Amino acid sequence: MATSRTPVEVPTKRRIAVLTSGGDAPGMNGAVRAVVRMTIHRGCEAYVVHEGYDGLVCGGNMIHQMHWEDVRGWLSRGGTLIGSARCSSFRERAGRLKAARNMVLHGIDALVVCGGDGTLTGADIFRSEWPGLLRELVSTGDLTEIQIRPHATLNIVGLVGSIDNDMAGTDTTIGCYSSLNRICEAVDAVFDTASSHQRGFVVEVMGRNCGWLALMAAISTGADWLFIPEMPPRDGWEDNMCSIINRNRDRGKRRTIVIVAEGAQDRNLNKISSTAVKDVLSTRLHLDTRVTVLGHTQRGGAACAHDRWLSTLQGVEAVNAILEITPECPSPVISIRENKIARASMMEAVRQTQKATELIKAKKFEEAMSMRDPEFREYHLAYLNTTTTDHPKMALPESERLRVAIIHVGAPAGGMNPATRVAVAYCMTRGHTPIAIHNGFPGLCRHHADKPVGSVREVEWLEAENWVNEGGSEIGTNRSLPSEDMPTTAKVFDLYKFEALFIVGGFEAFTAASQLRKAREQYSAFKIPIVVLPATISNNVPGTEYSLGSDTCLNALVTFCDVIRQSASSSRRRVFVVETQGGQSGYIATMAGLSVGATAVYIPEEGIDIKMLARDIEFLRYNFASDRGANRAGKIILRNECASNTYTTQVIADIIKEEAKGRFESRAAVPGHFQQGGKPSPVDRVRALRMAIKCMQHVEGYAGKTPDEIADDDYSAAVIGVNGSQVLFSPLGGPNGLETTDTDWSRRRPKKEFWLRFQGLVDILSGRPKSDGGVQDGECWGCYEHT
C-alpha cells in the first residue's frame, strides 16, 4: 500500500473510465468504443479498466488511457476486448478501498460500467461508499486531503450487457439479439434435416432465471412447445405437449421443434432437462428425436446490427449522463423502450430484476411474469395463441368472425412471410377466414368472376406454417396500386366478400390503403377495416419509426461491410464507397454507418456537393498519413442510392482515387438486392408476430359494425407503428391523419424522420469534420491530440 507521499497527477481534463464485468456479450466492444470516442469528443480523457472490477482493485497497468485510434475496428469484434472477470475481492470493502485508491491515483472520478445486475449492484455500492472510502484512505495515510479534493464525487452510469435480456426497465440488453441470432441460425440449419427424416429436435438455450431467449427462439422458429422458468407447464405437461405435436403431425408438419431454457422447471421447481423432454417424445410418440445443447456458442461471434447500433447509442448516452448527473441523482442505467433511448434508476431496475427471480423460487409464477416487461407477457400470450390454433375457448362466435384478405404491396422485405404466417394462425385460432391475394393488386384484378385464375384463395395452415423463417414474399408482391383499376378491385372485393384487409408492405402499401380509403365514397366494398403493417427495408412509411425488413437489411449490409473492410484493411490503405438502398430515405445508410463505424455517410436528406467531397478527401489524407502502418486502415464510406444524381458511387470512388495521388486506393461496391437479405432476422420475426396480432385484433374491433359506421371511423384505415416508446395505430385520414400531417408524398417518406439526429453521431464517432468546415467539439482531425 502506497503512502501519502505517492505523487498524483492533477488532470487538466475530466477523466472517464469504462469497464465490462460479470461476463461478456456481443456488442460490449461497441459500447466501449462509443464511450471512449464520445468522452474525447466532449473534451474529456478516456480510460479503460481491464478485467472488470478485478482490474480496478489491482490498478497499475490494468487502468490506462485510451486514444481515438485505439478502438478502431472494435464494432465487428466479439466478446469484450478489455476483458471481463468476476471479482470476489470487490465484494468486500477492503477490495473497494483499493479500487477507490487506484481511481484517485489515476485521476478518475467517473465510471461507465457494462454488465448484469451483479455488476450494477457493485457499482451502486461503490458510489454510495465513495466519500467514506476516501476519508478512510486519508486517515490511513494512503492519500492526502489534497489528493482526494478533486475527486470528492463519484459519478457512475450503467449499461446492461447480457444475452439473457433479464434486466427490468429495458426492452433489450446489449448482446441479447446477437445471441438470438446464433440460436435461430442453429435451429434454421436443422429444419431441413428434421423435415427430411420427420425428426424431432429438442434445443436447449441459455436462460437460467429468464426465459426471454427461449421464448423469442420459439417465436422465431415456430417451435411446437416451449419451456421457460417464469411460466412452468402445469402437471400433465407431457400429455399436453404430445397432443399438440401429434395434431401438428396429423396436419402434415414433418418437423418438430421444442425449445427448452436451461432454467426450465415444473411447478414444484423440479428441473425439466432437455434429455427428459427428448425421452418423452421418443417413448410416447416414438419420434426419432435429437437433443442440441447450444451452450456458449450463443455468446460468441460478432454482434448483429441491432446490438451494434444499440451499444453505440447507449454508450454515447452514458457519457452524456456522466457529465450531467449531480451528486443528489441516483445512478442511472441506460435503457431502451421500443426505439427510445432513455435513463432509468439503476438500483430500481436491479431490484425489479432480482424480485422476479425471488418470485420464481417462491412458486409465484403469475407474479413473476408480471415483473417482467409487459412486452414479455404479450409475446408469450401471442406465441400460445398462434401455436394452438384449434383451441375452442379462443374461437369467436360465428357473428363476429371475419373474412380477412391479406396482400403484400411493394418490394420484398424480410418479415413479410412471418407476419402473414402469424396473421393466418391467429385468424384460424379465432375462427376468421384468412384469404391470400397473390401477386398484389394485379393478381387480384386478374381474378375476374368469369375467369378465376387462383390468385385469391384461402390459406391452409400447413402452407403458412412453413413461412416462419422464409425471406421475401411467398404470396408474391409488386408495386402496382389499386388506382390502376379501381372498378375491378372493388368488384373482386365484393365477389369474395372481404370483411377486412391486411396490407403488408412499404410506401406503396401505405399509398394503396390511402387510395382505398378515399375511394369509399364511390365503392362501398372498401368500407371495411383496412390496416397497414409497414414492411420495407427503406423504413420510410409514415406513422412508424420501424418497418419489418429494415433490421434484416441492416444485418445483410453489416455483413457485407465487414467482409470488404477486411479486404480494405488487408491492403492497409483502401477506401470502399458502398452504395446502400433506401430510396429517398437515408435511414439504412445512417444506421449502417453507426453499426460499421463508417468514415462518412451520404444521404438524400443532406445531399452531396464538391466542398463536402473535398473536405472528406482531406480528412482521409490525414487519417492515412497519421496511421503510419501501425493500425489497419481500411475505410468505409456509405452512399445512399439517391443521395445525388451527379455524384454516383463510382464517381465518388474515382474522385477519391484521383485526389489520393497514390497515397491510398478507393473502390466502389454495390451490394444491390443482397441487402434484402435471406432469412428474416430474429428482430423482424418477433416483431412480425407482435405487430400482426395487434393488426388482427384491431380489425376484430369492427366486427358487427355497418359499412357506414366503419367508414366514419378514422381508425378504420390505419397504420400500425412504433413511435418513441409506444406501439400504436395512426389513422390515414381525418384531421390528424397521416395523409396530411406526416407524409412527404413527393419524396415518399415521413415529414419527420426520427433517425436524423443520429446522423451527427456518425460524424462524431468517425471524427469527420462538420459540414460548415469546422471540427467536432473536443476534436481536431488536423491535429488530433489523441493520435
User: 589: domain CATH number?
Assistant: 3.40.50.460
* In a shared domain, residues 443 and 543: yes
Question: Which residue did the predictor score with more confidence, 569 or 455?
Answer: 455
Q: Name the strand (E) or helix (H) holding 55.
A: helix 52-58
pLDDT at 420: 98
At 374, is the pLDDT very low, low, confident or very high (cuts 50, 70, 90)? confident
CA 711 to chain centre: 36
Residue 536 inside a domain? The answer is yes
Residue 109 inside a domain? The answer is yes
Over its C-alpha atoms, the chain yields an Rg (Å, rounded) of 28
Which structural domain range is residue 221 located in? 176-298
124 contacts: CB under 8 Å, gap ≥ 6: 156, 331, 346, 347, 350
* In a shared domain, residues 504 and 587: no
* In a shared domain, residues 398 and 522: yes
Q: What are the catalytic residues?
A: 164
For the stretch 277-310, pLDDT in tens is 999 999 999 999 999 999 888 888 899 999 999 9
- State the cell numbers at 416: 413479410
Integer CA distances (angstroms), 720 to 419, 460, 697, 787, in order: 13, 26, 12, 48
Q: Which of 141-155, 347-361, 388-402 has the lowest mean pLDDT?
A: 388-402
pLDDT at 5: 42
Percentage of the chain with pLDDT > 70?
A: 94
528 contacts: CB under 8 Å, gap ≥ 6: 493, 498, 499, 500, 501, 702, 707, 710, 716
At 125, is the pLDDT very low, low, confident or very high (cuts 50, 70, 90)? very high
For the stretch 662-675, pLDDT in tens is 888 899 999 999 99
pTM to 2 decimal places: 0.93
Last residue of a domain, one of 231, 264, 298: 298
**Residue 567 and residue 560: Cα distance in Å, rounded?**
11
Residue 380 inside a domain? The answer is no
Residue 777 pLDDT > 50, yes or no?
no
Residue 469 pLDDT > 80, yes or no?
yes
pLDDT at 371: 87
Percentage of the chain with pLDDT > 90?
A: 81
Which residues are known binding-site members? 23, 86-87, 116-119, 162-164, 199, 206-208, 262, 290, 296-299, 479, 536-540, 574, 581-583, 641, 667, 673-676, 748
Question: Which residue did the predictor score with more confidence, 5 or 177?
Answer: 177
pLDDT at 771: 59
User: 63: domain CATH number?
Assistant: 3.40.50.450
Which residues are known binding-site members for Mg(2+)? 117
251 contacts: CB under 8 Å, gap ≥ 6: 461, 462
* In a shared domain, residues 431 and 543: yes
**Residue 116 and residue 165: Cα distance in Å, rounded?**
9
Residue 784 pLDDT > 50, yes or no?
no
**Residue 355 and residue 367: Cα distance in Å, rounded?**
10
For the stretch 498-551, pLDDT in tens is 999 999 999 999 999 999 999 999 999 999 999 999 999 999 999 999 999 999
pLDDT at 472: 94
Q: How many helices (H) and strands (E) does the chain have?
A: 26, 24
Residue 315 pLDDT > 60, yes or no?
yes
Residue 783 inside a domain? The answer is no
- State the cell numbers at 653: 470512388
* Phi, psi (degrees; rounded to nearest 5) at 717: -125, 105
* In a shared domain, residues 81 and 124: yes
Residue 481 pLDDT > 60, yes or no?
yes
Query: Three-state secondary structure along 694-738?
Result: HHHHHHHCCCCCCHHHHHCCHHHEEEEEEECCEEEEEECCCCCCH
Q: Which of 401-405, 572-576, 777-781 has the lowest mean pLDDT?
A: 777-781
Q: What type of residue sits at position 416?
A: M
160 contacts: CB under 8 Å, gap ≥ 6: 114, 115, 116, 120, 167, 170, 173, 174, 333, 334, 335, 349
**Residue 113 and residue 22: Cα distance in Å, rounded?**
10
**Residue 481 and residue 514: Cα distance in Å, rounded?**
10
Residue 290 inside a domain? The answer is yes
Q: Name the strand (E) or helix (H) holding 434.
A: strand 433-437
* In a shared domain, residues 667 and 694: no
The 10 Å Cβ neighbour count of residue 16 is 26
pLDDT at 280: 96
163 contacts: CB under 8 Å, gap ≥ 6: 25, 26, 173, 175, 176, 178, 179, 206, 213, 298, 299
Which residues are known binding-site members for ATP? 23, 86-87, 116-119
Residue 362 pLDDT > 60, yes or no?
yes
Residue 780 inside a domain? The answer is no
pLDDT at 10: 57
* In a shared domain, residues 544 and 581: no
Q: Which of 151-155, 443-447, 567-571, 774-778 has the lowest mean pLDDT?
A: 774-778
Residue 772 inside a domain? The answer is no
* In a shared domain, residues 161 and 30: yes
* In a shared domain, residues 77 and 96: yes
DSSP lists the bridge partners of residue 461 as none
pLDDT at 87: 86
pLDDT at 296: 86
pLDDT at 52: 94
| Average pLDDT value for residue range 27-54 | 96
The 10 Å Cβ neighbour count of residue 193 is 12
Residue 365 inside a domain? The answer is no
Q: How many domains does the chain have?
A: 4
* In a shared domain, residues 279 and 349: no
At 1, is the pLDDT very low, low, confident or very high (cuts 50, 70, 90)? very low
3 burial (CB, 10 Å; 0-12 / 13-18 / 19+) is: exposed
* In a shared domain, residues 541 and 622: no
Residue 780 pLDDT > 70, yes or no?
no
* In a shared domain, residues 688 and 576: no
Q: Which of 315-324, 390-399, 680-689, 752-761 has the lowest mean pLDDT?
A: 390-399
